[in-house]
Structure formats: structure tokens, C-alpha cells
A and B are shown apart, each in its own frame.
Chain A
Amino acid sequence: MDKKKLIALIVKALFWIFIIAFFWWVFSNQMFSKIVENPDKFLSLLQQHLTLVGISAGIAILTAFPLGVLITRPRFRKSEWWIVNIANLGQTIPSLAVLALAMGFLGIGIKAAIVALYIYSLLPILQNTIAGLDSVDPAAKDAAKGMGLTPIQILLKIELPSAAYSIIAGIRTAVILNIGTAALAYLIGGGGLGVWIFTGIQLFDNSFLISGAVPVTILAVLVDYIFRGIQFLLVPKGLRLARAAAIDSI
């Protein structure tokens, strides 16, 4: 146990040393010069990036989550196979190809990029919603039924709270992947911080690359923390303790 903790501590320390060294290198070489020189452009790119992620991930959550709930109801169970496979398809096509396909019928620009990112975000949310709801202890559901709760009440009071951890984990995965993938939107004129990343690649100019890539990374880390917070708030205390105990015993 102590040994494990020590190793974890060393890994963590190395990680932070690496991060600090990286930022030291970045600042001492003025790699963020583009942001400093051209803050308006940076803010507009950032805003485009957030729009791309916000709208596509937002719609993905609004469709995939209810769909996942619906599929796990006994009446719609049969449709699970093909719905999940359609969502699978969206995920297995490389993100670049999804972009190209979306461009085919929506033209160039932000709309096509949003559709592509939307398709790309569906699967993790859908699958984790289904997996989360499937993993709810049947005994708990039976007990609730015995207490006279309606199916809706069972869903809201028993199933969703128990599955919350898994569902939010799915949304978290989807959004974080989405933030990175949104950098590709440049290719079809969708804007976003990818513009600077690709400018950096094409001109071999690290200051463009860093000014574009680091904010994307920071954005992903921030969003990750926000969702962890949400997870913490939404997962019932009892389950949280059980999970912590489970992780500790590993």
C-alpha cells in the first residue's frame, strides 16, 4: 500500500515537473506570442471552438441520453441492436471522413462541422447510458416495484441515480473527444482553434501551433474537471462511498 502511494506520488511529481518545464519553455520562447499580439483573433477562434463543441455536444446529449433511456425500457429493448449499431457506425468512421461526408450535403463551414461532431459524440453517451441503466441491481428495482412505485418513479428515483456515474462518464468522454476533434473543423472552413494549429503545421511555426493547441488542451482539462464536479454532485452519497471503497481495495 505504501509503496503504491509512493509510486503514485513520484508519477504525479514527474507529471507536474513536465508541465512546468513545458510552460517555462513555452513562455521563455514567447510561444504564446500570437495570443498576445492578436487577442481579438484568439477570442473569436476560441468562441468559434466553444460554439462548435457546445452546440454539437449539447444536441448529442439531448438526443443520446433520452434515446438510451428509451432503449432500456422493456418495450423498446428490441430496437437496441440497430440503434446502437447506427451510433457505432458514426464512431467507427474516421472523424475526418465524417467531416467530409457532412460537408457533402451541408457545404463548407460551421454547420457541417457541427453535424460531424454531433455524429461523433453520440456513441459514448448512448453506450454509457445503456450500460449504466443495465447495471442497476434488479433487486433494487423489484423492491421499488413491491413498494408500489410506478415505472417512471423507479426510473427517476432508483435507476437514474444509480446509473448517474456511468452516464456522466459517457458525456465526459464525448465532450472531451469533441473538444480535440473540433480542431479538425478548420479543414472544412468551420473555424475554431484548429485554424492556428493547422497554420502552425503548414508554416512550421511553433508559435501558431502552441497558441492554438495549448488552449484546446486546457479547455479539455477544464471541462474534465467540471464534469467530475457534476459527477460528484449527482452521484448519490451511498454509491460514492461504495465506489471509493471499491477503488481503495483494488
Chain B
Amino acid sequence: MKKLLGIIAAILLASVVLTACSGDEEKEVTVGAKNFTEQFLLAKMSQMLLEDEGFVVDMKDNLGSSALRQALENGQVQVTWDYTGTGLVTYNGEEPIADEQEAYAKIQEVDAENGITWTNISDVNNTYTLVMRSEQANDLGIASISDLADYVNANPGELRMATDAEFANRADGLPGIYETYGFEFGDEQISEMSYGLNYDAIHNEEVDVAVGFATDSRIREYDLVNLEDDQKFFPSYSAAVSMLTETYEEYPEIEEILKPLAEGLDSETMRELNYLVDVEENSVEDIAREFLIENGYMEE
């Protein structure tokens, strides 16, 4: 018994010493991601690039926007991809800004005070959108959100909508749409569900309108149309790296490592990658690796 205890103590001691030693050399970061495919892809690609440069990367994914942001502020997550519009409106209560560069400059300025640094803005603009089935939208003569507002006001209680809980309650989500366009769905008409299932719901004609992301491949797959945001309500949601300023200062190389990714991605490419995962059912890991290797960002 004594011997056994001795062995256990030795192992414990050894592991403590080992981790203590290795801790000095290893560059460790935690990459976070929200709960949809594009985020999984961005986080996975960042993880691969960072690991390629000798970082030990921990992953915390599948978080809601605000949970991820909270984790970033707490330092539980150090590097994330986030969207300028979300940063301004949801996290900081600022007015939405439609211009991409302006929004980026503004969020850099505002978040600097929160100890968060934004870098590597990309051409991926993943703005929210309302979608309908092409056929029904044509039949009802709805092409823009204003048309939808007119229709709903004229026929209250007829159209049903699917949304996730986040969009249903965000200032730059449904409440803002209601206010800007002057219409409202009744509680009875709204089905709240996990994001992603709303595409199935609209495809199966269980609802008539659904919230979507502009870069989501299922919009094309299910023959849906983006309703035009004719009042320019949705701000610009450029994907950019948002990280803890502390981490940014400790490892300035992260910006350089993730640069090719930010420069190589645009909305079209992103939609294609999302398509490969969501519709063709490839794994996030495979698609991320292929993309990085094909574009020469990473060796085999």
C-alpha cells in the first residue's frame, strides 16, 4: 500500500514538474467560436494556422454571441472571429454603421477601452437577412422587407416566421426590424428554434419567413430569396479577428499568422465553404484543412 502511494505521489510530482517546465516555452491560446458553421470553419482554420506556427490551441466553440463575448472579456477565450456589426450594436450598444471600413474603425476605437483589439478585417460580410421561398415570395409579390411589412399589415396573422432566440431578442434583430419597417408578427406567428433548423422549417413550408445569414449556403440550396433590406437596417457584419488586447500584445505574431485567412476570404468563398459543410456534409475539419492547403497557407 505504501509503495502504491509512493508511486502515485511520484507520478503526480513528475507531472507537476513537467507541466511547469513546458509551460514556459509553450505558446498557448484559446480560440472561441459561436454556434454556426461559418464560425466553426473560421475557428478551425485559425487553430490549424496557429498550431502550424507552434501554438498550443484550445478550442471553445458552440457558444452564443454574448456568451462568447463574455468569455473573451473574462479571458477564458483569447482569439475569436466576430462581426463588426455585432461588436457595435450588441456588445457596445452603438448605432449600426452600414459602411464596412467605417464600422471597422469605430469598433476598433470603442473596444480598445474594453481591452479588446480588432484586427484582420475580411471581405466576408455575414449580415442578417430575412428569407422566403422564391415561389411564395413571387406569388405574394414580396421582394423587399418593406413589401413584407405591407403584406403583414394587410394580412395580419397569415405569415409565420422562424427565428432563433438570439435574433428574436437582439436590438439589431427582430425588434429593430419591427421598429424600422413598421410591422410586427404576433407571438403566435413566431416559432423560435435552434439556428439552422429554421431553414428546414421554411423548406418544409412550416413557416413562410425565416432569419438567415447572408453567407449561408442553404439559401441557394433550398431556393430561398433574400428579402432586400431597402431601408438599410442591417449594419455591416464584416468578419474580423477580435482578441484580448493582452494576448495581442503578448503574441503580436497572431495577427500576421491569421492575415492570409482574412485576405483570402470573401463572402462568396465563405458561402462555398459553408455549402461544402452544411449541404454536402463534409466535416469542418476536412474543409478547413483543404482550403488552407489549396491556397498555400499551410503545408500538408
Contacts and interface: CB of A to CB of B under 8 A. Distances in A.
A203 B192 contact: no
A109 B204 CA distance: 12
B193 interface: yes
Nearest to A185: B193
A202 B165 contact: yes
Given A44-B187, A108-B206, A189-B162, A203 B64 contact: yes
Nearest to B67: A204
A198 interface: yes
A108 B201 contact: yes
A138 to B, nearest CB: 47
B267 interface: no
A interface, over-half SS: helix
Interface residues of B, number: 23
B69 interface: yes
Contact of A195 (B70, B170, B192): B192
Contact of B169 (A103, A189, A203): A203
A205 interface: yes
A195 B197 contact: no
Nearest to B195: A202
Contacts of A198: 165, 192
Interface string A180-221: 000000111101000100110111110010000000000000
Contacts of A201: 64, 67
A189 B201 CA distance: 9
A204 B200 CA distance: 26
Given A202-B66, A204-B66, A188 B204 contact: no
Given A186-B165, A189-B191, A189-B197, A204 B64 contact: yes
A195 B163 CA distance: 11
B189 interface: no
Nearest to A186: B192
B164 interface: yes
A107 B202 CA distance: 11
B255 interface: no
Interface string A95-129: 00000000100011100000000000000000000
Nearest to A190: B193
Interface string B59-81: 00000111101100000000000
Contacts of A243: none
A208 B166 CA distance: 11
Given A189-B162, A189-B201, 19 more contacts: A44-B187, A107-B200, A107-B201, A107-B204, A108-B201, A108-B204, A109-B206, A186-B165, A186-B192, A187-B193, A189-B191, A191-B192, A198-B165, A199-B169, A202-B64, A202-B65, A202-B164, A202-B166, A205-B66
9 contacts: A40-B187, A108-B193, A187-B197, A189-B193, A199-B165, A201-B67, A203-B165, A203-B169, A204-B67
Interface of A: 40-41, 44, 103, 107-109, 186-189, 191, 195, 198-199, 201-205, 208
> Ordered nearest first, which 5 A-B pairs have the shortest CB separation?
A202-B64, A204-B66, A189-B193, A199-B165, A202-B166
